[in-house]
Amino acid sequence: MRLKDKVALITGGSSGIGRETALLFAQEGCAVVVADVNDEAGQETVALIAATGGAAIYVRSDVSKASDCANMVAVAEQTFGKLNIVFNNAGIMHSDDDNAMTTEESVWDLTMNINVKGVFFGCKYAIPALQRAGGGSIINTASFVALLGAATPQIAYTASKGAVLSMSRELAIIHARQNIRVNALCPGPLRTELLMKFLNTDEKKQRRLVHIPMGRFGEAKEMAYAALYLASDESSYVTGTEFVVDGGITAAYVTPE
């Protein structure tokens, strides 16, 4: 088991990448704290883990609130005695997120509060716990759009993921000598509810697909396997990276016929 006797906190654990990662981590011997605002789906993730003999709890956490993030870390330590892995994965892609001219300030602020401040709070309160555990791994969900502009306008989301990437690099440098690794997972376009709701027409989907050399959307479980590597001791010399899992989209100048 690649995560035997470790404890992980996963935000956004009720669905998509978060749920798939929670299930995979538990399968690999990890105790999991599932944090989310969707209580029913979060409890369902925990039930799925319990059904296979794994250890997991759910804690309601709005990552845009400092008190909720402090609490989720405290619950992890109180329940399992330590914290080794943090996956700051919770995020939104607002349906009204568009170009700079049409995106409302409220959409910008909401996106930044969850996608950027949520990662900041997750690190702020988890790093002391990782220090108490003798080190650990932090994985922050960024995106391929932190490296490339998106073909479909989503200015707030793109800016937020660029911020996550920059923040991850700085944290990696600051805490490298404390045995704390920090990496940004940069998924390509995924066939998740989050993206499919945003790309809500066939035209929008095709505009995104045409740029992916593999010709398909990625799957949440493929991101979970990437997170597993970054969480495990196999990546013990990996920190400060943009870990890109994108079907080749960032490598492509033009896509193959």
Q: Two tokens at 100?
A: 């700079």
Residues with catalytic annotation? 157
Q: Two tokens at 66?
A: 């400092």
For 159, residues 6+ apart whose C-beta sits below 8 A from its C-beta are 112
Q: In what order do the strands lie in the sheet with 7-11?
A: 56-60, 31-36, 7-11, 85-88, 136-141, 180-187, 242-245
Question: Environment class of residue 89 by beta-carbon count within 10 Å: exposed (0-12), middle (13-18) or buried (19+)?
Answer: buried
Single out the residue of 152, 231, 218 nearest to residue 17, CA to CA.
218
